[in-house]
Structures are given as structure tokens and as C-alpha cells.
Amino acid sequence: MKLVVVQTGRLRDPHVAALRDEYVKRFGRFGKLEIVEREPKGEAPMWPAGVRWRVALDERGKVYDSPAFAKQLERWSAAHGPIAFVVGEAYGHHAPTLASADAQLSLGPMVLPHQLAHLVLVEQLYRAATILAGTGYHHG
């Protein structure tokens, strides 16, 4: 499984970045999880090259519990190959990125600061990989 998480802007909190990096390292047992930090450039969508399925984090997106998200991630990966997730800025995505997404994902009904949403997403991607692999990380 190959996943790319695009963080709009840079993670400024070193504690958040360290936790994120730990989950990225752990994910290596199951595939490749790449983190890309980039600034928006005009009206161009934020998607990286080489991905075939694009998921925008958005408060109006679909909400999954962890096992259902793992199954959805497995379906997307099997059908499309590499998947990109984009975490927006503090005020959300700019229109071209949101409009060009294949799916929208919500981490829940509460709005999170974008750096925290980034960390929660990375942890949930790791959790999904462990669920699919049948390891003991997820206790749900």
C-alpha cells in the first residue's frame, strides 16, 4: 500500500511532527507512507504526481469508524493504487483541491486544528494498516 499525506503548510510544532514521524516509521511494516508539506500555489490543486485516488479531509466528508475506514482504504488501494490525502489549511482547502478530490473524509463531527487533523489522519492510516494486517494495535 502506498499513501501520501499532503500537509498544506508546514507543521510548526516539533512535538506534533515527532509523533507523526513515529507513526510514519511504524507504517513502514505495511507499505509506504510519505508526508509532503507544501504551500498552495495560486489556483493549482495540491495533489502530488503519481497518485490515482485523491481524498480531501473536510468536515463535510464521510465519517468512518476505524474498522470501516480500514476496509475502505483497502478497497481504494486495490482499485486505484497509490492514494493521496490532503489536509487543508486552518480555513480549509482552496476550491480547486476540494473540487478535484475523488472522495472527502471527515475525522468526526468536531472541527480540529489542521496540525492536529494531520496527526490524527496519520495515526488512523497506521491503525487501518494494523487492522488489515490483523495485529493487536487496534483493540476495538
* pLDDT confidence band for 122 (50 / 70 / 90): very high
Neighbours of 133 (CB within 10 A): 11
pLDDT of residue 61: 94
Residues 5-41 pLDDT 10s = 998 888 889 999 999 999 999 999 999 999 999 887 7
pLDDT of residue 28: 97
pLDDT of residue 84: 97
pLDDT at residue 92 greater than cutoff 90: no
Class at the top of the CATH hierarchy for domain 2-133? alpha beta
Residue 2's identity, in one-letter code, is K
Could you write out the DSSP letters of every residue in the chain? -EEEEEEES----HHHHHHHHHHHHHHTTTSEEEEEEE---TT---PPTT-SEEEEEEEEEEE--HHHHHHHHHHHHHHHSSEEEEE-BTTB--HHHHHT-SEEEES-SS---HHHHHHHHHHHHHHHHHHHHT-SS---
pLDDT at residue 140 greater than cutoff 70: no
Residues 95-111 pLDDT 10s = 888 899 999 999 999 88
Residues 40-88 pLDDT 10s = 777 778 899 889 999 999 989 999 999 999 999 999 999 999 999 999 8
